[in-house]
Amino acid sequence: MTISMYQALIPVSIRTLNNLANILEKGAAYAETKKIDPNVLINSRLSPDMFPLSKQVQIASDIVNRGAARLAGIEPPKFEDNETTFPQLIERIQKTISHLNTFKPEQIDGSEEREITLQMRDNTLSFQGMPFLLYFVLPNLYFHVTTAYDILRHCGVELGKGDFLGQP
C-alpha cells in the first residue's frame, strides 16, 4: 500500500496546525490567568538570534500554504505577517487550514517529480516534488511548530507531548 502526496501533506498539516492553535489557546489562557501581558509571550524567543513566537507561527502557516500550492502547480497565497495577538495568530492558522481544505487529492497526487524552485535570500533551491515535501515542507512545519511549543513551554505554559501530538 502506498501513501499519496496529498495524504502525506494535507491531513498531516491540518492536524499539526490544529494542535498549534490549541497550544496558542493555552498560551493565551496562561497569560490571562497569570496576569502576563500576552505580548511578552508573543514576542518571546528561545535565543536572541531566533525568531519570536509570532514569526514561528507565521512561518509554519506559510510553509504549508506555499508548499501545497507549489505541489499543485498554482500560485501560493500571500498572508501579511502582521499578527500581534493570540487571537490573530489563531485566526491565521484557521485561514491556513481553510486554504488547505480547498485542495483536492488530484491536484497534489502525481506531483512527486514536479520541479519546484525556491528563491531564497542568498541562493536558489531546486527540488523534485517528493523530496520537497519530505525534506523541506514537513521538516520546516515541524521545526516551527515545535519551536512555538518550546517558546511557550519555556515561558511556563503547562504543555505536554500530548498537546504537540494532539488526539488520534
The predicted-structure confidence for 156-165, as pLDDT tens digits, reads as follows 999 999 999 9
* pLDDT tier at 168, thresholds 50, 70, 90: low
**Could you tell me the pTM of the whole model?**
0.94
Predicted pLDDT at 16: 98
Express as a percent the part of the chain with pLDDT over 90.
Answer: 92
pLDDT of residue 121: 85
CA atoms within a 13 Å half-sphere pointing along the CA-CB vector of 152: 31
pLDDT tens for 123-150 read 999 999 999 999 999 999 999 999 999 9
For residue 116, with 0-12 CB atoms within 10 Å meaning exposed, 13-18 middle and 19 or more buried, which class applies? buried
d(C-alpha 83, C-alpha 77), whole Å: 16
Which residues are within 8 A (CB) of 116 and not within 5 positions of it... i.e. 6 or more apart? Answer: 70, 71, 126, 127, 128, 129, 132
Q: How many CB atoms lie within 10 A of CB 48?
A: 5
CA dist 69 and 64 (Å) reads: 8
Average confidence (pLDDT) over 25-50: 97
What the block records as the C-alpha cell of 12 is 498531516
Average of per-residue pLDDT values in the chain: 96
| pLDDT given at position 119 | 85
